[in-house]
Amino acid sequence: MRAKGRRLQRGHGESYCYQELRRAVLEGRLVPGQRLVEAELVRMLGVGRAAVRTALARLEQEGVVERAPNRGARVRLLTEQEAVEILEARAALEGLAARHAAQRATPQDLRQLRSILREMAACARKGDTFRYTECNRRFHEVLVTASRHLTAARLLDSLRAQMVRYQYRTVLAPGRLPRSLQEHRAIVDAVAAKDPDAAEASMRAHLEAVAATLREVARQTSEVAIP
């Protein structure tokens, strides 16, 4: 088993093992469908088999990993319908987070969001979709942190790791990159203006647009596959 990008870190303990594996999935270093071989994880993470098994069990409960008898574990591959449902759930939760961010964001939070926006704009100009997707992930994390809404943050954390494959598919759709950038700017503008209604509406509109793009990509893929 090989992880994409930087290597998994070595350490000790069940919590460490769980967090590192989960982070690797979230960042796309472990990809949907990839096998997770216990012996290789033990070697790469520097932990015992018990820690690896416990971590895989936790990730299975979260829907990030799937395990089958005599076949081992692999990063779970979502269906398009499941991905759309997750986006719908995120729209509600992140809309709530954006509302609270408009009321609670600090000047430092806004500086971080605007800095990420500048990175996203540079990526969009270069057509660097991989880097853009990474910036997008950070943007949403910073905004949720700025909301100081711990329950929304916890629930969203359980949803994001499952969406890696589809984040790349949607951003590659023709014309999606500039629209995505504009949607993110609208969110930051509303948060900076301390307008909770506009912030929530902008976030919901953004994630609804992502869901619509995903549906369209899935439809086109299905049509191409028909003989």
3-state secondary structure 37-66: CHHHHHHHHCCCHHHHHHHHHHHHHCCCEE
What digits encode the pLDDT tens for the residues 43-86? 989 999 999 999 999 999 888 899 888 788 998 887 888 888 98
The pLDDT of residue 53: 92
Topology annotation, domain 80-225: Four Helix Bundle (Hemerythrin (Met), subunit A) (1.20.120)
Q: In the predicted model, is pLDDT for residue 6 greater than 50?
A: no
Q: Identical fold at 14-75 and 80-225?
A: no
User: What are the residue ranges spanned by the domains of the chain?
Assistant: 14-75, 80-225
Flag whether pLDDT at 165 surpasses 80: no
14-75 maps to which CATH number?
A: 1.10.10.10
Share of the chain above pLDDT 90, in %: 56
According to the model, what pLDDT value does residue 224 have? 34
Of all residues in the chain, the percent with pLDDT exceeding 70 is 88
Report d(CA 142, CA 160) in Å as an integer.
14
